[in-house]
Amino acid sequence: MANLKDIRDRIKSVKSIQKVTKAMKMVAAAKMRRAQENMEQARPYTHRLTEVIQHLLPDVDRNMLPLLSSREVKRVAYVVVTSDRGLAGSFNTSVLRKAHNEIDELGKENVDIYCVGKKARDYFIVREYNIIDSFFDFWGDLNFDQSMKIGSAIIEHFLDGSVDEIRVVYNQFVNVATQMILTEKLLPIEYETVDTQSTDHLYEPSKRKIVKSLIPRHLNVQVWKYLLESYASEQAARMVAMENATSNSEEMIKNLTLEFNKARQAAITTEMLEIVSGAEALKG
């Protein structure tokens, strides 16, 4: 059994860690609320823009824009969205595991990787995958300009013919306790044909011009969506992880306190026995 000083030091250490986890939980909760507000504001615009393009694509020549033309898929680029920091439960490991498995199915020699977040960069560098570019140290000041910068680099890689398809692996925010890992095709843009016969829309200017104008904007908004969803998911995962850590530390403190009391009682009992034994010895 550990001595009293060791147990007392462990209790003190666990209490110090508990204060840190409580503070991190509150910080993550505040960041998550702001991130969730931004994400929920962007969702309607993203969905509506997608619907408009979906209705227009069947009526235009897809060859008019390279972003719309499908190719034989020989090489694929993966955009893996993670965080810069850990302490968020399985937030990063789940995304990296899914991306790793999908890339290995295609063959790592046939895949280019764009890493968004330090965790993705560090993971794939160690395993010697083909990383084209990485983006990090921007989450604290996340803005639309940053998403446009990332999107431009990715889109240019597709337009110059380096890859034939671009996929994105990220966490979609469902609620505080749940984040869904998704893989979405970013390029080339493909939508299922929808029935547009029930309504008659008039478009001004022409559908061709509208599509040419909306497609670049749509891609920037999609990248912005991935970043917002991932950031909100990260903060939610970190808040839950820190709450669990705080609860576990409370349980650990209870167990250590019980162990401390048992050790102290054993020490007192031993001392009393020694005193009684000594007194009996003196009497003899």
Q: What is the pLDDT of residue 195?
A: 53
Judge whether 39 and 127 are in contact, CB under 8 Å: no
Rounded distance, CA 24 to CA 239, Å? Answer: 7
pLDDT at 196 over 60: no
Q: What is the CATH number of domain 30-241?
A: 3.40.1380.10
Contact present, 36 and 173 (Cβ < 8 Å): yes
* Domain range summary for the chain, segments of one domain joined by +: 4-21+244-283, 30-241
Rg over CA atoms, the chain: 28
Phi and psi, residue 140, nearest 5°: -65, -20
Torsion of CA 229, 230, 231, 232, to 10 degrees: 50
pLDDT, tens only, 25-48:
999 999 989 888 888 888 888 888
Q: Would you place residue 193 in the very low, low, confident or very high pLDDT band (cuts 50, 70, 90)?
A: low
Q: Using H for helix, E for strand and C for coil, what is the string for the chain?
A: CCCHHHHHHHHHHHHHHHHHHHHHHHHHHHHHHHHHHHHHHHHHHHHHHHHHHHHHHHHCCHHHCCCCCCCCCCCEEEEEECCCCCCCCCHHHHHHHHHHHHHHHHCHHHEEEEEECHHHHHHHHHCCCCEEEEECCCHHHCCHHHHHHHHHHHHHHHHCCCCCEEEEEEEEEEECCEEEEEEEEEECCCCCCCCCCCCCCCCCCCHHHHHHHHHHHHHHHHHHHHHHHHHHHHHHHHHHHHHHHHHHHHHHHHHHHHHHHHHHHHHHHHHHHHHHHHHHHHHC
Residue 200 above 80 pLDDT? no
Residue 76 pLDDT grade (very low, low, confident, very high; cuts 50, 70, 90): very high
- Residue 64's pLDDT band (boundaries 50, 70, 90)? confident
Measured CA angle at 169 (ends 172, 21), to 5 deg? 55
pLDDT at 145 over 60: yes
pLDDT tens for 217-247 read 888 899 999 999 999 999 999 999 999 999 9
Averaged confidence pLDDT in the chain: 86
pLDDT of residue 101: 94
Whether this prediction's pTM lies above 0.75 is answered by: yes
| Tens digits of residue pLDDT in 95-141 | 999 999 999 999 989 999 999 999 999 999 999 999 999 999 888 88
